[in-house]
Structure 1
Amino acid sequence: MLVVTLLVTVAIGPADLSVGEVARSIAGHLGLDVAPVPRLHDAIVWELRLPRVLTAACVGAGLALAGAVMQSLTRNPLADPYLLGLSSGASLGAVAVLVLGVSLLLPVAAFAGALLALVVTLTLARVGGTLTPGRAVLAGVAVAQLCAAGTSLVIFWTATGDSYREILTWLLGSLAGATWQSVAIAGSAVVVVGSVVLAQGVRLDAFAFGDTAAASLGIDVERTRWTLLVLVALLTGAMVAVSGSIGFVGLVLPHAVGALSGPLHRRLLPSVAIAGAVFLVWADTIARTLFDPRELPVGVVTALVGVPVFVVLLRRRAGTWGA
C-alpha cells in the first residue's frame, strides 16, 4: 500500500503525469534501463514531487511511531509526540530564525529547540523526586506553555510583512518546502532512531503493566524510560524540523492501528509507522491539490480528518480508556 501510495500521489497534480512515467523517472535516476521520460516531466517528478512525498512518508512514520511509544511510556492514551513540549520548543527555535531572515538554519534551530525543551521538561520532572509519567506530563505542559508564550512574544515584537504568513504556515505544519535535504533529515531519523525504537518492543510491552511489573521482569525502568524519551525527542525533533507542527498523526494512528494489530509492540510499532506514512502522504496530497493553486497547511487536513476519527475511537473504546 505504501509503495502504491508513493507512485500514485507523485502523479497527482496540475501536470499531466501517469504512474508509468513516475515509475520510469524514478527507475531512470536509479540507473535502470527504461524508456526515457520527457525532461519537464522528469524534473517535476524528481525535483518537486518525489522529495515532498518521501518527506511526508518519513514524517508520518516518525510521528506515528513516536506517538505509540509515548502512549506506552506514559500509560496515557491521550499522549502524542508533542506531550513533553517538543513541538513548542521547536516552534520557538524555528520562529526565531524566520524573523531573523535566516530560513536556511530553520531545521537546525527547530531541532535544537525541541531538544532544549526536552532537557528542561525532564529536569523539571525530576525536581524533588523520581521521573514518573505523571510528573513528566505536567512538566511538559508547563514547558509547552512557556515556549508558546516565547513564540508569541517573538512574533509580536519582530515579525513584519510576509514573515507573518511564512511563520503561520510553518506553525500549522507544511511540506511545501520539502527538498532532498528534508528527505535526508527525516529519513535518517526514521531509519536510525526508528530501528532502535522497534527493537524495544518487548520492554514497551512490560511498561503496559506499570513500573513495578516491568522491574520484576528484569527491566531497568529508569534507564529504559530516559533512553526511550530521548529517542522519541530525537525522532520528533527531526520530523518537526522539516515539516513544522503536524497534529493528530501521533495521537490517532496508534489507537486506530492498535485496534487491528493488537497491543503487542512488535506488531504495533512497524504497523503504525507504515500507516503513518500512508496517512500523511495522502493528507499532504489533499492539502496541495484540493484548492489548487492555493495550498492548505497539511496540519489543517490532519486535524480535519483526525478529530472525527478520534471521536469515533473514543466512543468505541470509552470503557477501556475510562478504566
Structure 2
Amino acid sequence: MPHILLTGGAGYIGSHTYVALVEAGFGVTILDDFSNSDASVVDRLSRLTGADVDVVEGTVLDRALLTRLFAEKAIDGVVHFAAKKAVGESVARPLDYFETNIGGLTTLTQAMRAAEVWRLVFSSTATVYGEPEVFPLTEDMPLSHTSPYAFTKVTCERILEQAARADPWVLGVLRYFNPVGAHGSALIGEDPRGVPENLMPYVAKVATGEMSELRVFGDDYDTPDGTCLRDYIHVMDLADAHVKSLQALLDGRAHRLNIGTGNPVSVLELHGAYQDVVGRELPYRIAPRRAGDVPKLYADPSRARSELGFEAQRDLEEMCRSSWNWVQARMTGWTFNS
C-alpha cells in the first residue's frame, strides 16, 4: 500500500482528495497548519472513511518537521496543496505569497530530496496562462501571470523543471481550472472565510441570505450572454484526477496536465443553474467590469484523458446540487470557522 504525504490535506481540495486516496487504497498522512481550514474536518474525514485520520499539525516551511516525517513514515510520494491561493490578497500581500508558496515548495522538495522521495503531485492553476487569446487552452501554451499568486505558481513550475534536470524526480503538475461542489455526503465542502472570491460560494451565500445579491462584473464581453466564461470542475472529479496522477507517477510516468471539463460556463449560466437547484430566484445586479478578469478561460482536457485516462464525470447541475446540499448541512449541523 503506497503511503502519501498530503500537504494542506484539511483544506477544500485536500480533504476531498484525502477521501479519494483512502478509497483507492493509499495510506495517507495529512500535514496542515489549519490556517485556512477547520480542525473539525478531521473528525468528518474519519466518519467518511471509517478510520482514524493520521494528521500532523504543522507547516511546509518547517524543515525540521518535514525531516522528521520522512524519517518516521515510509512515504512513497507527496501531493502538495499547502499554499495561499487568493488572487486579491496576493496583490495586497505579495511577500506572504512568495514565502509560503515558493518557500514552502523549496523547503518541501529539499526534505524530499534528502529522504530520496522523488514522486510529487504539484497543485498548479490555470492562471499560469496569464491573459490568453486562443482557446481552448493547451498545456504547450506559454506561461505568464497577472497576479503575485499566479507568479508563484509559474515560478514553482519552473523550479520543478530545473530540479528534474538534476535529480530523478517523477512529477505530476496539475493545472486546475475552477473547482466547485462538495462531497456527496455533505460532510465536507468549500467553506471560505469572509467574502468569497470565487463565484459559486458567493452565489451560495446569496442563497442563504448571508449576501444580499450577486454582483456580476460586466455583461458586455464578447461571449454568448456577455458575461465571463469559465471551466468549472466538480471537486470530486478533481480528487479523482489526483489518484490517477499518483498511480501514473508510481509507474514512472511524469506529466503536466490541464484538469478541467473543456465546457465553458458563463456567470449567468452558473447563477441560473444554482437558482434551479435552490428553487427560487437569487438576486443579482450587473456591475462594472473588474480589473484583471479575462473574458474566457477554459481547458483542452484531452491530454489528461490520453495520459491518465481521466475525464470529468459530473455536470453543472451536480456541481450546484452538491454545493447546496453541503451549505444546508453546514447551516443545520455544523459550526465552522469559530
Greater relative CO, 1 or 2 (CA 8 Å, sep 6+): 1
Larger Rg: 1
For normalisation by structure 2, the TM-score amounts to 0.24
For normalisation by structure 1, the TM-score amounts to 0.25
